[in-house]
């Protein structure tokens, strides 16, 4: 992926990939940008333009080879390899994330969970023993963690972020309702359910 690719295009690629995977499950081997756009509520022109950042994949009059486009999108998104993930925060949200089978099925492997509550430390989530947050820096540095998921209160999020960044973690998925301060080269994605609901109520 080149630096000239807009972030909004990158964020649409997983949506295309998921649609194509569902299409492949039906046995369909080719699809046009028009049909794909109809399934996604997107214009064919948008789909063609988004994909054109990475090459030419369609064949005039035939459309896209579904299997080939799936493999290509997986390569572009680097989903053809395994990723080491930690979760910081073992409350209700952290438990739900650690137990979600979709991570492993998509090559995102939860390798450690951390918390600062003595009542939780030492207990298990599935096969994982919850560790003290005091061990976070050591584990993150020694285990070459790729991604950190933050399921902590807003007041703790920046301190946790600083620790994982110091250990060369360059991707953070943040559920805390706070904007993090990070250096260049660190990618942060925010998921704030309350903010999303507040956006939805505008339209009701």
* Predicted pLDDT at 2: 47
In the structure encoding, which two tokens stand for residue 144, read together? Answer: 């070459």
Query: Rounded to an integer, what distance in angstroms lies between the CA atom of residue 181 and that of residue 195?
Result: 19
* Predicted pLDDT at 4: 85
Residues 181 and 98 in one domain: yes
Residues 42 and 127 in one domain: no
**Predicted confidence (pLDDT) per residue in 29-80, tens digit:** 999 999 999 999 999 999 999 999 998 887 766 789 999 999 999 999 999 9
Q: How high does pLDDT run on average in the chain? A: 93
Per-residue pLDDT averaged across 89-98, rounded?
Answer: 96
Where helices occur in the chain by DSSP H, the ranges are 7-25, 33-40, 44-52, 66-76, 92-98, 102-105, 136-142, 154-166, 193-202
In the structure encoding, which two tokens stand for residue 148, read together? Answer: 């950190």
Query: Rounded to an integer, what distance in angstroms lies between the CA atom of residue 67 and that of residue 23?
Result: 10
Is residue 202 assigned to a domain?
no
Is residue 203 assigned to a domain?
no
Q: Could you tell me the strand order of the sheet in which 63-65 lies?
A: 30-31, 63-65, 58-59
Residues 126 and 39 in one domain: no
Residues 14 and 39 in one domain: yes
Confirm if 153 and 175 have CB atoms less than 8 A apart.
no
Per-residue pLDDT averaged across 77-100, rounded?
Answer: 96
* Predicted pLDDT at 59: 74
* Predicted pLDDT at 57: 82
Residue span of the structural domain in which 107 resides: 83-197
SS3 of residue 6 by DSSP: coil
Confirm if 140 and 148 have CB atoms less than 8 A apart.
yes
């Amino acid at each position: 992926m080149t630096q000239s690719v807009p972030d909004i295009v990158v964020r649409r690629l997983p949506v295309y990939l998921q649609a194509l995977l569902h299409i492949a499950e039906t046995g369909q081997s080719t699809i046009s940008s028009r049909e794909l756009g109809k399934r996604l509520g997107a214009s064919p022109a948008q789909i063609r333009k988004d994909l054109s950042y990475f090459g030419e994949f369609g064949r005039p009059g035939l459309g896209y080879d579904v299997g080939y486009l799936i493999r290509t999108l997986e390569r572009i998104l680097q989903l053809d390899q395994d990723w080491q993930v930690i979760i910081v925060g073992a409350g209700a949200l952290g438990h739900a994330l650690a137990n979600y089978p979709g991570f492993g099925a998509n090559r995102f492997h939860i390798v450690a969970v951390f918390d600062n509550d003595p009542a939780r430390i030492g207990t298990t989530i599935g096969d994982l023993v919850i560790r003290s947050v005091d061990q976070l820096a050591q584990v993150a540095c020694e285990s070459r963690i790729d991604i950190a998921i933050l399921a902590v209160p807003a007041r703790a999020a920046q301190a946790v972020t600083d620790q994982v960044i110091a250990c060369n973690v360059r991707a953070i998925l943040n559920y805390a309702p706070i904007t993090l301060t990070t250096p260049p080269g660190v990618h942060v994605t925010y998921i704030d359910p309350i903010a999303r609901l507040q956006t939805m109520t505008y339209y009701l």
